[in-house]
Amino acid sequence: MKELELKYGCNPNQKPASIAWQLVKELKEATGLPAAASFKHVSPAGAAVGLPLSETDKAIYFVEPDAQLTPIACAYIRARGADRLCSYGDWAALSDTCDAATAQYLKGEVSDGIIAPDYTPEALEILRSKKKGKYNIVKIDPTYVPAEQEHKDVFGITFQQGRNNYKIDESLLGDLVTENKNLPDAAKRDMIVALITLKYTQSNSVCYVKDGQAIGVGAGQQSRIHCTRLAGSKADNWYLRQHPKTLALQFVDGIRRPDRDNAIDVYLSDEYEDVLRDGAWQAVFKVRPEPLTAQEKKDWIATQTGVTVGSDAFFPFGDNVERARKSGVSYIVEPGGSIRDDNVIETANRYNMVMAFTGMRLFHH
């Protein structure tokens, strides 16, 4: 296996860094659709399958009107668009050959590298122009099978465990523990997206998914309710970007993508005055926008429905379900096994949700 020295590992003094491609590989195998992920550090900021983009999608992901869109390009655009702030400086992972459409979109984004099973000549030419030719372009052997045993050396101690090769597919979704057992195919697909994303997300982790796309990933929190809140707030932010006021924002000509993304994030936050005050808004907007009030945000988020939430370990209390409901969650997938499962199920029943217990924990450290 060829070793590639990258810019840095965990920190600039730690080389080489390793690359994960398993998430998109498993997502493609489980759904039959091209898949992409936007990785930061050890967790995906977003993951998605290659479903077509709606006109609203194109608007909030800033897709050029004349852009060519292929399934793998749509997968990456959606994965990157889930959390554009966290995807800044990402590694792009693709399940399929990187084509010119994907490379062209990626060319304008701040990204550290890409990993894919292959590249078209046109895509390579485009990507080689990034970072003055220093953009990391990695070709993975799609037939590569890692060792069954994983090792990690930390301060003279070697940790060893079997690789997590548990197969995630629809067979895991048969144990529906709620009164409502109406689980449509689209929700099954979203549960699969959530579970595979969680499998490769730093634990504790919770993932909100809609239409084959992770819209909020909460990773690495010591408390599960904090994961649920963090991921839920990201899902809310994703949905608020579709609010008419947000879509109507008029940016100054030539604004850099990161500056535009930061401005939207601040505009949607409680610190909106930082970008709307005199002397600040003129650097970003052509016209000073009206604030999106707290009540407007609440009313808009209340219209969100059909969201799936997944957890890498059981929900210990019903408060996680209560928080998920506020972000439009209709479907829940989690391992089950808490001594308070009855309380969690009761809470889900209160809101006519469908909940599946998988019996499989997906911790990742």
Residues classed as catalytic: 40-41, 204, 365
* CA distances for 133 relative to 53, 98, 113, 124, angstroms: 30, 17, 11, 11
Q: Is the peptide bond before 13 cis (omega within 30 degrees of 0)?
A: no
SS3 string, 62-103, reads CCCCCCCCCHHHHHHHHHHHCCCCCCCCEEEEECCCECHHHH
State how far the alpha carbon of 351 is from the alpha carbons of 150, 284, 324, 331, 354, in Å: 42, 42, 11, 10, 9
Question: Whole-angstrom Cα distance, residue 124 to residue 283?
Answer: 35
Beta bridge partners of 48: 36, 213
State the DSSP H helix or E strand holding residue 25, giving kind and residue range, or none if neither: helix 22-31
As given in the structure block, the two tokens for residue 172 are 């895991």
Cα gap 213→193, rounded to integer Å:
7
Question: In this structure, are strands 111-116 and 43-49 parallel, antiparallel, or unpaired?
Answer: unpaired
Structure tokens at 152: 């990690």
